[in-house]
Homo-oligomer: A and B are copies of this chain.
Amino acid sequence: MNTESLAFATPQESLGILLGLVRAEIVRAMETELAAKGLNLSFTQFLILKRLARLGPMSASELARSVELDGGAMTRQLDHLEGKGYLRRCRHEQDRRALRIELTDAGNALWTQLVDCNERVLTAAQRSLSEAEQAQLQDYLERVLHALRDKS
């Protein structure tokens, strides 16, 4: 180039941008890991599977809320994941409006692979932070989140 106005990188970013950059890198890294295993999953799909694996069966809207995904978008992701055979839409016993989304055996099997990817990426991302610092980072982020949500 010429003017050498290095606009890239991260020169004292404001929080909003910085968060976006970090998140984008994590998403990218995760999807790369997944692709390396021959898995064709988006980060969103990974999150959905993670929730189900961690918290067990739940309704589509609970799932949507927990991942901050729109209900409509969730319906379509469920279509994909059900199509791939990783989960099942069952009837909800107490509420006939709702579904009970549960992992299939294939879904559970898949999860064991995903744990791995997840682990590797998070470890790599935080490798320059001590255990204490990692905990602190998490704490700070949670406090920021609460501050934004409770506009008290």
Binding site for B on A (CB under 8 A): 2-3, 5, 7-8, 10, 13-27, 29-30, 43, 47, 50-51, 55-56, 58, 62-63, 65-68, 94-95, 118, 121-122, 124-129, 133, 136-138, 140-149, 151
Task: For A94, list chain B residues within 8 Å (CB).
Answer: 2-3
Residue from the list B15, B67, B129, B145 in contact with A18, Cβ < 8 A: B145
Which residue of B is nearest A66, CB measured?
Answer: B7
* Copies of this chain, whole number: 2
A15 to B118, CA, bound (A): 10
Q: Which residue of B25, B43, B145 is within 8 Å of A10 (Cβ)?
A: B145
Q: Quick check: B15 and A19 within 8 Å, CB to CB?
A: no
Query: How distant is the Cα of A144 from the Cα of B22 in the complex, in angstroms?
Result: 7
